[in-house]
Structure 1
Amino acid sequence: MTTKSKIILFAGGSLGSWALEEIEKEDVLVGVDRGALFLIQNGRQPHLAIGDFDSVTAAEREVIRQNSGEMRSCDPVMKDLTDTEMGLRWALDQQPAEIVLAGALGSRFDHSLANVHLLRKALVAGVPCRIVDEKNQVLLVDQQVTLHRKRFAHVSLLPLTEQVSGITLTGFQYPLDKATLRIGDTLGISNVLLADTGTVTVADGYLLVIQSMD
């Protein structure tokens, strides 16, 4: 299947009603492990349920099987990828207009950080991708992005590569002009959008752009 629609991956991290608000009519929904159960319990049928399903009971797994368009399961031990990466790889193969990762952040910091790093795979593949939770949105930029304020007034910038150069900000309280950020720098933390939109431009490197409500 190739789709020009948006694909939303619902992973097994923190999920709530805010995640359901991301869904639009033509979106393709992918339930990653327990994320599939979340969709079903909220009246949505996953197009695909994928993962090792080690975070659900046998009865819940059967509910997922019966209520998903397709189910792809794997051994929870003999595998090399996280469930979320398996879901993302499938999504990238569909060449969608956009991928959204919901439930990718949560109490497991290792999984949260690994999922942030997955943004690089989408960027290299040329597919727009963002991570969302109740109070944050995370993007990875290597050229330019226009940010919309909406519910996210605060913006922080963190380098994902050792150095990011040529960082220029327009429409922010604290502008930058061809600045450089290196791993460990906190200069880019907690900026503020002054208007409804702002622009982040990067000349070289991968820059994490984190929009937050507070």
Structure 2
Amino acid sequence: MEKSSKIILFAGGNLGSWALEEIDEDAFLVGVDRGALFLIQNERRPHLSIGDFDSVTPDEREIICQNSEEMRSCDPVMKDLTDTEMGLLWALEQQPAEIVLVGALGSRFDHTLANVHLLSKGLKAGVPCRIVDEKNEIMLVTDRITLRKSRYSHVSLLPLTETVSGITLSGFQYPLDKATLRMGDTLGISNVLVSETGTVSIEAGCLIVIQSMD
């Protein structure tokens, strides 16, 4: 796989036709557990299917096995990592230009929150990672990021660390200049881009940047 490749992880959470829109011609597709079945059912062949596959039937597992270029399975009980973390760690080892996680949000809030936290592994590895679902895009920032006007109407900022300091926003309806957000603060909720591009920069801490639409 080329260094410039984009890896897309299809996890087993909320998925729909919107998820297929993330796929471009050169994307490397990883099906995580039931996410692999979603790809196959939508006529996409996973380059890799990974997980314990405890959320599919034996017949569905065989379909995944027969329709994946490679399959890596593990015991559903004797393991320490979630399927999504296993998939992400494999993806990070490839050092791609970008990793996108779809199907990483869903009805299990524990898994949803854990998957947001997983984005920190991308920061440590120096690989841009983001979570995308039908109405949200989530990423982590420890320095600076530029956002462009898009289908998302709102931008919200939440601290992942106890304190995030030196937050400066430009191009937003509600600008900030070296502000501080602490765990539990809601100051950063529901901002709006008023320029074609906006910048978010911080001096210390780790910030969750969530672009969303109603």
- AA paired with 2:7? I
8 Å Cα contact 1:144/1:199 also seen in 2 = yes
Shift of 1:149: 1.9
- AA paired with 1:8? I
Shift of 1:2: 5.4
Aligned counterpart, 2:167: 167
SS at match of 2:176: coil
For residues 147 and 120 of structure 1, what CA distance do their matches in structure 2 show?
Answer: 19
Aligned counterpart, 1:154: 154
For residues 121 and 174 of structure 1, what CA distance do their matches in structure 2 show?
Answer: 30
**1:117-146 CA deviation, whole Å, 9 max, x = no partner?**
000000111000000000000010000001
Unaligned runs of 5+ residues in structure 2 are none
For residues 153 and 196 of structure 2, what CA distance do their matches in structure 1 show?
Answer: 9
1:116 aligns with 2:116: yes
Aligned counterpart, 2:36: 36
Aligned counterpart, 1:128: 128
Shift of 1:189: 0.5
8 Å Cα contact 1:146/1:200 also seen in 2 = yes
Shift of 1:195: 2.2
Aligned counterpart, 1:96: 96
For residues 87 and 188 of structure 2, what CA distance do their matches in structure 1 show?
Answer: 31
- AA paired with 2:55? S
For residues 202 and 19 of structure 2, what CA distance do their matches in structure 1 show?
Answer: 29
Aligned counterpart, 1:181: 181
| Root mean square deviation, CA, Å | 0.7
For residues 147 and 78 of structure 1, what CA distance do their matches in structure 2 show?
Answer: 42
1:195 aligns with 2:190: no
Shift of 1:64: 0.2
8 Å Cα contact 1:40/1:64 also seen in 2 = yes
**1:49-75 CA deviation, whole Å, 9 max, x = no partner?**
000000000000000000001000000
For residues 131 and 149 of structure 1, what CA distance do their matches in structure 2 show?
Answer: 18
Aligned residue pair count: 214
8 Å Cα contact 1:11/1:31 also seen in 2 = yes
8 Å Cα contact 1:2/1:93 also seen in 2 = no
Q: Percent identity?
A: 78
For residues 138 and 167 of structure 1, what CA distance do their matches in structure 2 show?
Answer: 18
**1:81-119 CA deviation, whole Å, 9 max, x = no partner?**
000000000000000000000000000000000000000
1:145 aligns with 2:107: no
Shift of 1:3: 3.2
For residues 185 and 141 of structure 1, what CA distance do their matches in structure 2 show?
Answer: 17
SS at match of 2:155: strand
Shift of 1:197: 1.5
Greater mean deviation of Cα atoms: 190-199 or 18-27: 190-199
